[in-house]
């Protein structure tokens, strides 16, 4: 491979990565620092108002969603705390402090349970990276495969051939993870019960018969909406209708 072609490959790789990295840049406004001080002084309601106002400007900011979750936890609104922790988990799925807080909160809500084998596998594959991380890794693997392909084609070196196949396999795996996660985020809506407890109805009417109950903090799948109601599905697969005001969308 000529030096000119190699430089061109590196340039294309750089161009493909830069837009993803620049989207991570987030400023730190003075209001955020003031809210942090209010939180430290245990003025949780005042801090919460500032965090929530900033969230309208920076909706994908991990620090804001995480701190909002902490504020709701401190004032005893555990369902809303769980909602914002789950929002934060999408951005930083490996954050230790966040995962610890979720575990403590689930224990307080009576939702702590042992993961089954499939949930454990998902936690260490599909849920180990956020969507941006998976997209970056997928692009890197694609360009590694491309470089090794040209090296093997030009030099016929066996090492390049083996490395090319390994990088291709990893690229396919991460591409599958990316497409699965992207599809789920695009087509599957999840919610958290933000009220202390709710009654799920058989139909979207207040006077309708009770289907089952849910605790605050429980995670549900949102299937569709009708007027002031969501049709939801719980972890056991049972469906029913809950008021929108009782469910926070992740």
Q: What is the pLDDT along the chain (250 residues), one digit of tens a residue?
A: 455 555 455 544 444 444 333 333 345 678 999 999 999 999 999 999 999 999 999 998 999 999 999 999 999 999 999 999 999 999 999 999 999 999 999 999 999 777 677 667 766 676 788 888 888 999 999 888 888 887 777 776 666 678 788 888 999 999 988 888 888 777 889 999 999 999 999 999 999 999 999 999 999 999 999 999 999 999 999 999 999 999 999 9
Q: So what's the pLDDT on residue 21?
A: 34
Contacts of 222 (CB under 8 A, 6+ apart): 189, 190, 191, 230, 231, 232, 247, 249
Q: So what's the pLDDT on residue 23?
A: 35
Q: So what's the pLDDT on residue 17?
A: 41
Buried b / exposed e over 1-23, threshold 16 CB at 10 Å, is: eeeeeeeeeeeebeeeeeeeeee
Q: So what's the pLDDT on residue 182?
A: 82
How far is residue 126's CA from residue 119's CA, in Å, rounded to a whole number? 10
Contacts of 43 (CB under 8 A, 6+ apart): none
* DSSP at 246: G
Q: So what's the pLDDT on residue 28?
A: 64
- Quote the tokens at residue 122: 């998902």
Q: So what's the pLDDT on residue 16?
A: 46
Contacts of 55 (CB under 8 A, 6+ apart): 61, 64, 65, 68
Strands (DSSP E) found in 94-215:
189-193, 197-201, 210-215
- Quote the tokens at residue 240: 């029913």
Q: So what's the pLDDT on residue 68?
A: 97
How far is residue 122's CA from residue 103's CA, in Å, rounded to a whole number? 17
Length reported for the chain? 250
Count CB atoms within 10 A of the CB of residue 63: 17
* DSSP at 209: P
Q: pTM score > 0.85 for this model?
A: no
Residue 100 CA: distances (Å) to CA of 96, 131, 188: 6, 22, 26
Q: What are phi and psi of 137, to 5 degrees?
A: -60, -40
Contacts of 99 (CB under 8 A, 6+ apart): 89
The overall longest dimension of the chain from CA atoms, in Å, is: 76
């Amino acid at each position: 491979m000529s030096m000119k072609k190699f430089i061109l490959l590196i340039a294309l790789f750089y161009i493909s990565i830069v837009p993803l990295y620049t989207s991570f840049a987030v400023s730190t406004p003075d209001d955020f620092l003031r809210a942090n001080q209010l939180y430290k002084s245990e003025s949780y309601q005042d801090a919460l108002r500032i965090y929530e106002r900033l969230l309208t400007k920076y909706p994908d900011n991990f620090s804001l969603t995480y701190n909002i979750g902490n504020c709701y936890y401190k004032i005893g609104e555990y369902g809303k705390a769980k909602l914002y922790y789950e929002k934060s988990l999408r951005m930083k799925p490996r954050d230790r402090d966040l995962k610890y807080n979720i575990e403590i909160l689930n224990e307080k809500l009576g939702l702590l349970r042992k993961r089954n084998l499939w949930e454990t596998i998902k936690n260490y594959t599909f849920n180990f990276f956020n969507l941006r991380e998976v997209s970056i890794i997928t692009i890197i693997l694609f360009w590694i495969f491309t470089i090794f392909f040209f090296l093997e084609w030009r030099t016929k070196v066996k090492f390049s051939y083996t490395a090319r196949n390994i990088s291709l396999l990893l690229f396919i795996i991460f591409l599958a993870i990316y497409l699965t996660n992207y599809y789920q985020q695009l087509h599957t809506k999840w919610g958290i019960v933000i009220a202390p407890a709710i009654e799920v109805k058989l139909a979207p009417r207040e006077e309708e018969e009770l289907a089952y109950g849910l605790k605050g903090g429980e995670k549900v799948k949102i299937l569709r909406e009708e007027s002031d109601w969501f049709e939801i599905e719980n972890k056991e697969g049972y469906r029913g209708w809950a008021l929108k005001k009782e469910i926070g969308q992740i």
